[in-house]
Amino acid sequence: MAASPPADVGPLRSAPAVRNALSLARVESAMARTASGIGVIFFLQSLPSMLSQLKDSSPLWLFPSIILLVGGMVFTSVASIVRRAVRLSMVSFSLVFLVVLISWPFAVTHPSPDSPWLYYLITIATAMAALGLPLVPATAYLVVVPVCYAIIRAMPAGGALTAFRVTLDSLYGFILGGAILIIVVVLRAAAGAVDQAQATALEGYSRAVRAHAMEAERVRVDAIVHDSVLTTLLYAARADTPEAQRLAATMASNAIGHLRDAALVSPDDGSTVRVSALAHSTREAIELLEGGFDVSSSRLGTRSIPAAAAEAAQSAAVQAAVNSVSHAGSDVTRSVKMTAWQGGIQIIVSDDGRGFDLQQVPSERLGVRGSIIERMSNVGGKADIRSAPGQGTTVTIRWPAGASVVATPNILDEDAVMR
């Protein structure tokens, strides 16, 4: 028979955790905060012109316009800080500015050739549009705003500037806004490529885990075949007496029993893993993701659990985290909490993302069933999934199964259809 595995073996180690300096989520957040900060500076720069031109515009237009623009600027700043509704805030400011710009000639009471205070906000508006809108609408906005400004400045209400002056002013806004749009597109493409590479690496890691398990099983079965089956066959071939034949029959019966036991026992049966090592390995694997997970653990102590259960729990938790990054959306708060008790462990992977309706999941979507629920069920554990549209998702992984979580209409268990 094959030798017993060592008494304390860790799960398959993840690659060393490397926090990517570039990812789409980080780039989006950095660009939004930068645009908001620079926008505030440009807005403050326009204040002297605004104050000096108060008498040149109708108060019925001026004060609502200022309130809307200031409110939009505050909205974008707060959204970029809390990382929520960022694109909505950017698009809102861009649209408000376009409406104010188009309506400006109708509110002018004393036309002037001097640059209006709105001129300082053109770059802010085009930058916000580049961040908040898809590429084609953002490009259209980049063209429309300078053209509208040029037309307005050529009108009597806009100061009736010469074609040369109008062209220079509009080109300045177009070139600067175009440069910002190009930078945004390039950074998004580079960050998207990094995210794709990371997803490919995680898929490769998953395949390596499966290959590792299959290889371990092959080695174990080969050892059984060599030590029991082949020995029995060789002895039976030389059994030329009734006594030798009876012994060969007994050996064959024992070999069949060994094969039957091999089909029922996990390849890692008998080996154990310290819960603290499992928590460390799980943390390393999840920190490879760019979802901004808050990973915490408590009461781990020096407890140990079977290696098969440890590998299943780690793989299920990583899969739940990958699902959160892939489906919960951006600007989402994610957490992983690991807790242990005597002879057991629980891992909770949760987010406050978009969630999903369990009743609307197609029956052919079996990914989570195999990757999380059945994986835990096969080692005597349990996985529960709670989710609802707009209310996030919580995946609770427990070994051993222990007491069941109270069932609700929004709990997905072994008999439910998985996405």
Residue 101 · residue 118 · CB < 8 Å = yes
Beta pairing partners, 383: 397
Give the list of residues 6+ apart from residue 101 with CB closer than 8 angstroms, or none: 118, 145, 148, 149, 152
Return the pLDDT at 213: 67
Instruction: Return the closest-CA partner of residue 87 out of 29, 173, 43, 174.
Output: 29
- pTM metric for this prediction: 0.49
Q: Please write the tens of the pLDDT for every residue from 85-125.
A: 888 999 999 999 999 999 988 888 888 888 888 888 888 89
pLDDT at 222: 63
pLDDT of res. 261: 58
What is the per-residue pLDDT for 225? 65
Task: Identify the segments of the chain with pLDDT beneath 50.
Answer: 1-20, 267, 364, 366, 403-419
What's the distance, CA 218 to chain centroid? 35
pLDDT at position 235, please?
62
Torsion sign, CA atoms 184, 189, 194, 199: positive
- Provide the terminal-to-terminal Cα distance of the chain, rounded to the nearest Å: 42
List 37's β-bridge partners, or say none: none
For residue 287, how many other CB atoms are within 10 A of its CB? 18
119, 53 contact by CB (below 8 A): no
Q: Can you give the pLDDT at residue 219?
A: 60
Asked if 79 contacts 86 with a C-beta cutoff of 8 angstroms, the reply is yes
Residue 258 CA to residue 366 CA, distance in Å, equals 33
Q: Do the Cβ atoms of 122 and 149 come closer than 8 Å?
A: yes
| Res 107: pLDDT | 86
